[in-house]
Structure 1
Amino acid sequence: MITIYHNPRCTKSREGLCEIENLNQPFEIRKYLDEPFTKLELEDIIKKLNIKPIELIRTKESIWIENYKGKDLSDAQIIEAMLENPKLIERPIIVNGDKAVIARPKEKINEIL
């Protein structure tokens, strides 16, 4: 089952959702701002993305700039920042089994099909 971690207010996230809908495969939508990640879920997604936690951060977001930019943060502290401020999480994230991508651009979805 494909899962899209989605923010409906984000243009790139809406584009990713449209791409998923066109696949004609079953999928589920998780509006992660309404239903935040648990620590284990976020750690699992980072592992599936095969990235460092900082690579999932929207570093131009004002929350990041005002509270975290320039600080020497551990991976655990970065994950905690995302849990406390889900707006910091890059989107959309598409998960298919044990694979995941940040669908920017939306064509990246093809990498995990």
Structure 2
Amino acid sequence: MITIYHNPRCKKSREGLEVVKVSGKEYEVIEYLKVPIEEKKLKELLNKLGIGAIELVRTQEKIWKEEFKGKDFNNDELISILIKNPILIERPIITNNDKAVIGRPAEKIETIL
């Protein structure tokens, strides 16, 4: 099943959701700001994406710039930061079984549908 980790306030996330809807495939929406991503699930997502935690961080967010920018963190520390501050997680993230993409641009989503 397709899962989209979605922030409805984000234009790119809404565009990603529309791509998933248009596909006609069954999907689940997780609003990760309302339903936090647990550590195990976040590590699984990073593994499916094939990236380190820093690549999932929205470094232009105010909270990142004010509290974390310029500091060195290992992967586990970054995962902890993302769990405590989910607004820092890139979006949307779309998974389809063992594959995942960050849907920026939205065309990337089609590669796993």
**TM-score > 0.5, shorter chain as reference:** yes
Alpha-carbon offset, residue 11 of structure 1: 0.1
Counterpart amino acid of residue 74 in structure 1: N
Match of 2:98 in 1: 98
Alpha-carbon offset, residue 111 of structure 1: 1.6
Question: What is the CA–CA distance in structure 1 between the aligned matches of 2:101 and 2:54, rounded to whole Å?
Answer: 15
Q: What is the RMSD of the two structures over their aligned residues, measured on CA atoms?
A: 0.5
Question: What is the CA–CA distance in structure 2 between the aligned matches of 1:99 and 1:92, rounded to whole Å?
Answer: 14
Counterpart amino acid of residue 73 in structure 2: L
Counterpart amino acid of residue 75 in structure 1: N
Match of 1:55 in 2: 55
- TM, length-normalised to structure 1: 0.99
Match of 2:3 in 1: 3
Match of 1:86 in 2: 86
Q: Secondary structure at the match of 1:101?
A: strand
Alpha-carbon offset, residue 91 of structure 1: 0.1
Match of 1:26 in 2: 26
Question: What is the CA–CA distance in structure 2 between the aligned matches of 1:26 and 1:37, rounded to whole Å?
Answer: 21
- The runs of 5 or more residues in structure 1 that have no matched partner are none
Q: Write the deviation string for residues 38-58 of structure 1: whole angstroms up to 9, x where unpaired.
A: 000000000000001100000
Point out 4+ residue stretches in structure 1 off by more than 2 angstroms: none
Question: What is the CA–CA distance in structure 2 between the aligned matches of 1:111 and 1:69, rounded to whole Å?
Answer: 32
Question: What is the CA–CA distance in structure 1 between the aligned matches of 2:13 and 2:110, rounded to whole Å?
Answer: 15
Counterpart amino acid of residue 82 in structure 1: L
Alpha-carbon offset, residue 110 of structure 1: 1.6
- TM, length-normalised to structure 2: 0.99
